[in-house]
Amino acid sequence: MSTPIEILTKIIQERRSIFPASYIQKEIPTAVIEQILTSANYAPTHKLTQPWRFVVIRKEAKTRLGQTLGQLYTEHVSAEKFMQKKFDSFTQKTAQADCILAVNIQFHPDKVPNWEEIAAVACAVQNMALTAEALNVGAYWSSPPLIDHLDDFLGLAENEKCFGLFYMGYHNDEPRPANRTPIADKVKWLEY
């Protein structure tokens, strides 16, 4: 039997971004999505502002999202920088994912600096990624510049901002080792 720290370490070390091209056509049950979202709710949050807000995008709404991203790409990219492959990727990725979570932040500038809210939401996303890994759901946090123009599509309030799209889907990818340099190269100890 594994100890809690052994289980946690294994999940942390095995978590990888699994991209939509690897997803198989298998529906993620609503209860699994809710479990992933519930884990997000336990991220650290200064002054308990709990700034994370999510929009669950499934079924036909994924098609509308792909079309909207394509339209935004056409509107905001110059003709000389336009790439058909990039344009096509929006509808492909949204179709390949079973569920997409829009990761949004509700800022509280009267209580804490914005960077603390961003850090809290990043912790919430890490909780989601680890929970997805434990549930064998592939996940990938994407933050293309076009998310700055999704306010209307997502129905965001004036003090909210989208910070990415969290794509999810079941997959058959084989586990792969992490590509990390040793932690000792990134730590300085001060003891006196």
- Tell whether 192 is covered by a domain: no
Residue-wise pLDDT tens digits, 124-154: 999 999 999 999 999 999 998 899 999 999 9
Spatial distance between the Cα atoms of 34 and 41, rounded to a whole number of angstroms: 11
Q: Evaluate if residue 184 carries a pLDDT over 90.
A: yes
- What Å distances lie between residue 85 and 53, 100, 164, 187, CA to CA? 31, 21, 21, 41
Query: Above 80 in pLDDT, residue 109?
Result: yes
Copy the structure tokens of residue 85: 């492959």
Q: How confident is the model over 173-189, as a mean pLDDT?
A: 93
User: Is 108 contained in some domain?
Assistant: yes
Asked if residue 35 is part of any domain, the answer here is yes
Strands across the sheet with 99-106, in order? 52-58, 99-106, 160-170, 137-142
Q: Is residue 94 part of a domain?
A: yes
Beta bridge partners of 141: 166
Query: Is residue 189 one of the residues assigned to a domain?
Result: no
Give per-residue pLDDT as tens, 28-74. 999 999 999 999 999 999 999 999 999 999 999 999 999 999 999 99
Does residue 147 lie within any of the structural domains?
Answer: yes
Domain with 49 in it: what CATH number?
Answer: 3.40.109.10
Residue 176 pLDDT grade (very low, low, confident, very high; cuts 50, 70, 90) = confident
Query: What is the three-state SS of 62-89?
Result: HHHHHHHHHHHHHHHCCCCCCCHHHHHH
**Nearest Cα residue to 43 out of 107, 131, 112:** 131
Whole-angstrom CA distances from 59 to 88, 107, 162 are: 19, 29, 20
For 17, residues 6+ apart whose C-beta sits below 8 A from its C-beta are: 139, 140, 141
Instruction: Give the range of the structural domain holding residue 158, as residue numbers without chain letter.
Output: 26-171
Query: Does residue 2 fall inside a structural domain?
Result: no
Question: How many domains is the chain built from?
Answer: 1
| 79 is a domain residue | yes
